């Protein structure tokens, strides 16, 4: 395969890249507003990585990062604990809002 081929896959992160400060600030703000937070990082292909945050009060939200490495670094800088998987205790802690339940019901009934 020739150098510069468009079929060559490279997923290397250069050492000079830094975690976006807006991402870290968003994670810190969520954690501060909800009495602390835990995160689960999900790889979502070319889009990057989704950081799902679960607050101590049961509220949840998400942020997106360019990749899983950046997501983990942002969580570390923000002081948010990263869980390796969706554990039962973490899922039990989540409290979806009434608006979310309504939107899920509409999607189910529309099928």
- Does the pLDDT of residue 15 top 90, yes or no? no
pLDDT of 30 above 60: yes
C-alpha torsion 31→36→41→44, nearest 10: -40
How many other C-beta atoms can be found within 10 angstroms of the C-beta atom of residue 14? 5
Beta-sheet strand order (sheet of 81-83): 60-65, 49-55, 37-43, 81-83
pLDDT tens digit sequence for 86-108 = 667 766 666 666 665 566 666 55
pLDDT (mean) for 66-80: 94
**Domain boundaries defined on the chain:** 21-109
Lowest mean pLDDT among 25-29, 54-58, 90-94, 102-106: 102-106
The residue-averaged pLDDT of 33-55 equals 90
pTM of the entire predicted model: 0.67
């Amino acid at each position: 395969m020739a150098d510069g081929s468009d079929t060559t896959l490279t997923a290397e992160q250069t050492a000079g890249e830094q975690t976006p400060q807006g991402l870290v600030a968003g994670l810190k703000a969520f954690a501060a507003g909800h009495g602390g937070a835990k995160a689960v990082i999900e790889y979502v292909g070319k889009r990057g990585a989704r950081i799902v945050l679960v607050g101590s009060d049961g509220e949840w939200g998400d942020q997106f990062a360019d990749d899983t490495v950046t997501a983990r670094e942002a969580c570390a800088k923000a002081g948010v604990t990263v869980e390796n998987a969706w554990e039962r205790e973490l899922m039990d802690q989540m409290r979806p809002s009434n608006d979310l339940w309504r939107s899920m019901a509409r999607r189910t009934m529309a099928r």
